[in-house]
Every structure is written in C-alpha cells, then in structure tokens.
Structure 1
C-alpha cells in the first residue's frame, strides 16, 4: 500500500479576524466546534485513512499555542505521527508547503499527500478522493462542492469535463463561470513540489522584470499552483454530495457545530450525550459539566468543560465555552457563550440562524470571555466584547 501523509494548514494570528471576538483569547484552530478543537475534525478523519503514517500541521502560531493540542492528539491517535511546523513568517498556502517539503517527504516518503484548510467543515471524503485519484493518476484531485449560482463567485470556481478532468479554474471570478467550487480539501501526488518549484521560478522571473512583483516564498496554492495545473490538464475534481461549509465567522461556527454533531451520530456516537426527555439529540456535553435535571438541552448544543447549567435553563443551537454558568431559567438560543461568562437568572441570549448571504448583519449572538448578563436582560443578535457587564438589554449591535 502506498504511503500517504496529511497536511493541515492552520494559518496564524494575523488571520481569523472575522472570528473575533472568539479568537481574542483562543487561536482559531483550537476553537471548540461540536466539543472538539476545529483542527481535530480533519485530523480525526485523516487518522482513519489506511496507509496514512503522519499528519503535519503547518501554520505561524507560536509553538506553545499548538503544543497542548499536539500532545493530546498524539495520545488519542497513537498510530500516526503528529507534529506542528511553524513558519518563520506567513508564506502562503503553497509557500508553507514548499518551505517544509523536506519534512513532508522524509522517510517513509509519501506517494500521496492530503492537504486541508482549517476553515472547512465537511465530511472529509478522503477515501473517495483516493479512489478517484488512483484511477486518473494526475498530479492532484480537488474536492468540489456545488453551490448556488449567486454565491459561486465568492469561491474558486471549477469547470470540469464528464471524466472529472479540470479544464478551467478561476479564483473568485468577476462573473459566474460554474456552480462547482473549491472545497478546500486536496489530494496531491508527491510531484506537487515540482509544480510549486515551477511556480516559484516563474514568480522569480516575473520579479526580475517587474519591480512590483516580490521574489519571495509567498505562494498561494489556489492562484499560483492550481490555476496552471488546471490549464495543463493535470487536476481532477471529486464532487462531494455531503455537507460542506466554510467557518469564516463566529456565526458560522454554530452552523458548523450542528453539522458535525449530526455527523457524530454515525462516526463518533460515543462523543454525544445520551438522548432523554431533557437532552435532545444531537448534543455534546463535557463530562465535567454540571447540568440540572430540569434543564432542557439541545438539539445542536455543545457544552464545554466545567459549565454549570442551573434549574429550568433552556439551551438550543448553541456553543457554551468552558467555565460558564447559566443561572436558573436563563435561555440561550442561536448563540455562542465564551469562557467564564455569567448568565443571570431569567436572562435570554437569542439570535437567528446565519443566512447564506449575511451582508454584514449580525445574526448569531456571540459573547466573548468573562461577560456577565444581569437578571432578566435580553441580548439579541449582538456581539459582545470581553469583560463586559450588561445591566440592560441590547439588540443588533456590537457592544464595546
């Protein structure tokens, strides 16, 4: 069986600004989605792949930020090697891969390399991609997703023929060319690094002629590598029919959590809370959380470590971070509650499900770390920054 490795691209602290205020205290890859850090989901799927020997997490967070997760992951997935490789500065999605090419290609040298972006929520159909890739033996296979025509230009658009060969690829085109878009998951042959080298040499040649082009290691996988590969007929596309969405904003984390919780019913039922009259499936409740038997939880709820839920509380379509207390008869709907918050008696957090085209409006309510809500206050469709005490109600605004 051919050796396979996985790479997860997690970016760094200058990214993820749309996830604020959640990322003010927690690195984006470690944000809990469905009770697990965001980076855990692709890692857990990669760990199930036959022949996969190693997963490398590449980004430019400090080593100390990722060290705890890597240590826990090694314990949870002992059959694969897991490591974090820190870029000395942001190098781009292809630049980071090329910078660490020796680490990726070290023995056992992989024939195939899976690459995942961190901000993708999907079922990670690695085996299906491998089956297609093994048949065509092109340089790469990209996971494609069918989206609505009106949103397609927000993504990298793919035009393919009936055999799955990509004949044209454009990153965020000005006008519509296809409903099939780049899903942010790739499978490449090890010859990918030869293709990146070609792109790097081409950039250096352009830099010699044009002073506006910088000759450096900053290369983007989509524009600088996949575009020429598609033009050379070296890319294929696997279209997933399963769920998919990007995790680009705090509000999208609630939708992603719901999708992953539903998937856990098939893939990780042991992670889910046992359904009952007061716990509706699917829900995740950390074993260290304290839930009053009269509280009603779920569906689509993830409750973190040390959370205390008092009598008569209602929680639905929500993520509750570590150490938060929900006092009696409080209500949390379509919301994210950050670490160590205090939600007073009869207080209510509310929002609306994230629309497909948000147009800058606040939908889901998000409380940052250590926010306190006074009794009987209502906060609807708001973003609240850390260390705030709200003694009155708010709606549709950012609370600074």
Structure 2
C-alpha cells in the first residue's frame, strides 16, 4: 500500500503561519497536520504502508527531511515530488506519477478525520465523504439505490448532493489512475480552469469502475485559523479518549492548573497560570501569569501576564498584551 499526499498549496488562508512553514506542517496536538494524517491512514489501511509520496512546492531541504522522517515513522519509504504550478488536483497527483502503481490512498493534507473502520482493499475505489450543510465549496457525489457513486460534481452551483468529498481516496490500481490523469492533461480537459481529479473519476466510472462511498465519524478541516483551532480541540479530545499521555515528563508546571485535554510538549515551563481546556503547547514554550484556553501555542513561544483564547501563536513569538483572540505569526511580538 502507498499513500500519496498532495500538499503543494501556499496556504494563503492560514497566513501569517504559512509564511515560514507550509500549512501541513502546522502542529495539531503537538504533531504536524500531515503527520497526524499519515499516521491515521496507516492505522486504517489494514496492511503495511510501503511508501509515502509527498507532492510539495519548493519548501526547502529542512521541510523535505521532515517529511521523509514522517514516512519512516510509519515504516515506509518517503518520496518527494514537486508541483511548481497550481494547476488543479489531477495535476498535483500526477506529479507523483512514478509512485502511482498498485493499491494506494490519495489524501490531501488539509484535512484530518476520525474513523472506526479498516480499509476494504477489495473495492476498486473508495471515496470518503461527509454530509455538509453547504456543499457549494466542495466536490460532491451522488449515489444510486445500491449505494454506489453515480456522479462526481465539482463545487456545484445548484444543489445536487450534500455528500462532500473530504479529500481521501482509495484506488486498487494506481497505474489505471495514472493513465486517466495523464489523459486529462494530454487532452487539456479542465473544469473551472484546472485539471480536476473528479473528471478522472468520472471517466473511470464511465468505463465500469465501481466507486463506493466511505464514511468517517468526523471530518476535521484545517483550512483557516478558526477551523484549525477547532480541529486541535477535537483532536485533543480524541487522543484523550484513546488514553494517550499528553503531558511530557520534562515539562515544569509550577503553581498552575492544567484543565484537560491539554498537550504539553518537551521542556515547556508553566508558572502561575491556568492552561486549558483544548490547548496545545509546543516544545520549549513558556506560559507565566496567564490564562490560556482553546489555543495552539507553537515551539519556543512565550505567553506572559495575559488571557488568550481561540488563538494561534507562532514559533518564537511573544504575547504580553490585553486579552486577545490572536493569529500571531512566527518571531512576532505583541506587547501593550
């Protein structure tokens, strides 16, 4: 089994946090989004993962090494491919054409999920979906009376279905997928100005491939700051339910209260503070004289003598101000 992870987007809706790192490397409960995604997919695959292929922009050697280490953490080889132009989902996946063979999962790296299932590798194709209130921003599927997918519609302007594609797909034959993606590019077949995976899926369906919907217990989006903070909240609850230890032994907590679920990384110092619920504190961060709730504080950041909620605070940032709902980028300082 292979996992293909397109993640070349610039993450503009997550700025300023994506000015220094790509969005999939922003931490959720202490681990990068993409690492959480790869680990969760590996758990449901039901068989060993041989390779994880990441499709990225020119993010630099440090990021590439981190991604290879994520693949190795699930016992797989890590491969790096580049998408230098944002020409759509089909174009992004095809950038990894040398890895498109055999059974594989394609997972776009701006979504996490909670699921209690094992992948059915006997299916020709599985498209994971979730019901949504407003399907217009998503690709959606329509089903027949047998529960099989009959239509793929990209960002419908008129209502056709509320089953949104969450960005995770299983293909029994990766080489067949590669051929269909290449066909779109060779014939300049676009939808809304881009090469879309949904067009390849439609062609495969018309040739007899049976796609079935996969359902997840919960779909967690990481598209913007508020969504990412909420995803951190739900993921902390998920880890707590699994009984995972979320507080590092090297953390120093003095005259303070932790209200779980809270993730506390290595070397964190908490003094005279209340932290939680739903807070992630990155390694070496420092909180003193403060109240922090429902927030992500990244590595080596400082929160001093303030109240912070519904916030993201970047690496090496400092907050010492009146109470705020913040989105503060790396190396920034906010004082009053």
Q: TM-score, normalised by structure 1?
A: 0.74
Query: Over residues 84-103 of structure 1, what are the superposed CA-to-partner deviations in whole Å (9 max), with x where a residue is unaligned?
Result: 22345445432343343333
Task: State the SS of the aligned residue for 2:39.
Answer: helix
Instruction: Name 1:16's counterpart in structure 2.
Output: 11
CA–CA distance in 2 between the matches of 1:69 and 1:250? 23
Answer yes or no: is 1:285 the counterpart of 2:270: no
CA–CA distance in 2 between the matches of 1:371 and 1:63? 22
**RMSD of aligned residue pairs (Cα, Å):** 2.7
The correspondence for 1:180, drawn from 145, 163, 168, is 163
Q: When the two structures are aligned, how many residues end up with a matched partner?
A: 327
Instruction: Name 2:26's counterpart in structure 1.
Output: 31
CA–CA distance in 1 between the matches of 2:296 and 2:20? 16
Answer yes or no: is 1:242 the counterpart of 2:217: yes
**What's the CA shift for 1:233?**
5.2
Instruction: Name 2:129's counterpart in structure 1.
Output: 144
Query: Over residues 282-324 of structure 1, what are the superposed CA-to-partner deviations in whole Å (9 max), with x where a residue is unaligned?
Result: 11111211011x311111101112211113x111100112222
Instruction: Name 2:97's counterpart in structure 1.
Output: 101
Runs of 4+ more than 6 Å apart: none
Task: State the SS of the aligned residue for 1:225.
Answer: helix
Greater relative CO, 1 or 2 (CA 8 Å, sep 6+): 2
Instruction: Name 2:287's counterpart in structure 1.
Output: 309
Distance 1:271 1:74, change over 3 A: farther
Task: State the SS of the aligned residue for 1:252.
Answer: helix
Structure 2 gap ranges (5+): none
Distance 1:203 1:40, change over 3 A: closer
CA–CA distance in 2 between the matches of 1:228 and 1:69? 36
CA–CA distance in 2 between the matches of 1:373 and 1:64? 31
**What's the CA shift for 1:262?**
1.5
Instruction: Name 2:140's counterpart in structure 1.
Output: 157
**What's the CA shift for 1:327?**
1.6
Task: State the SS of the aligned residue for 1:369.
Answer: coil
Structure 1 gap ranges (5+): 208-212, 351-364, 375-390, 392-400
Instruction: Name 1:335's counterpart in structure 2.
Output: 311
Instruction: Name 1:298's counterpart in structure 2.
Output: 276
Distance 1:25 1:271, change over 3 A: same
CA–CA distance in 2 between the matches of 1:340 and 1:66? 18
**What's the CA shift for 1:22?**
0.9
CA–CA distance in 2 between the matches of 1:39 and 1:27? 10
Task: State the SS of the aligned residue for 1:121.
Answer: strand
**What's the CA shift for 1:343?**
2.1
Task: State the SS of the aligned residue for 2:293.
Answer: strand
Kept in 2: contact 1:325–1:343 (CA 8 A) = yes
Instruction: Name 1:118's counterpart in structure 2.
Output: 109
Higher radius of gyration, 1 or 2: 1
Distance 1:272 1:155, change over 3 A: farther
The correspondence for 2:330, drawn from 369, 382, 393, is 369
CA–CA distance in 1 between the matches of 2:181 and 2:70? 34
Distance 1:348 1:68, change over 3 A: farther
CA–CA distance in 1 between the matches of 2:21 and 2:273? 28
Task: State the SS of the aligned residue for 1:7.
Answer: strand
CA–CA distance in 2 between the matches of 1:341 and 1:51? 40
The correspondence for 1:194, drawn from 169, 173, 176, is 176
